[in-house]
Structure 1
């Protein structure tokens, strides 16, 4: 399982995803087309975004890989223009990173 991670990892979600079997590549900088391509979005199973300020990366990820599952893990609201493209939005106050990682690995 291959995941692309963009944003801040203050909840250590990358570590939890790796613990359940994901190979995680972190976008270096902004989740724009070059950054997502360099991270390997074309072959990814999962795109995790924690910074809704980079929400424009969601349609870019879907354009490059229409089958990628998009998960937003943030306590901020997802902008309306991309809310229909995210498969799942999770508030860290409701689910801990280990639980989220386990659920994502099981699907």
Structure 2
């Protein structure tokens, strides 16, 4: 599985062309998206999560998608709420990965 395929797996129903995905991947330090993705490498995992976050933030910046719609008197705001929750989850996961990978952190266990 290459980086583009892995990113599509992470994005699921969000469809973007490969050129757009390549640009996002290159902006997150994956210079050759056609190469194989290695899930055991910290840098690969982090790059995929950061790229996914960047794409979702771009979608969140589209005012057409963020409008409130009313359907039969009911406000439908689910897309924006779900998107915001997913962005928050990704930010948290990225922070956790960075903290867990930091071997020179200044925290210690005090009993």
TM-score scaled by length of structure 2: 0.26
TM-score scaled by length of structure 1: 0.27
Q: Which has the higher strand share?
A: 1
Return the structure number with greater relative CO, CA threshold 8 A, min gap 6: 1
Rg larger for = 2
Q: Which has the higher helix share?
A: 2
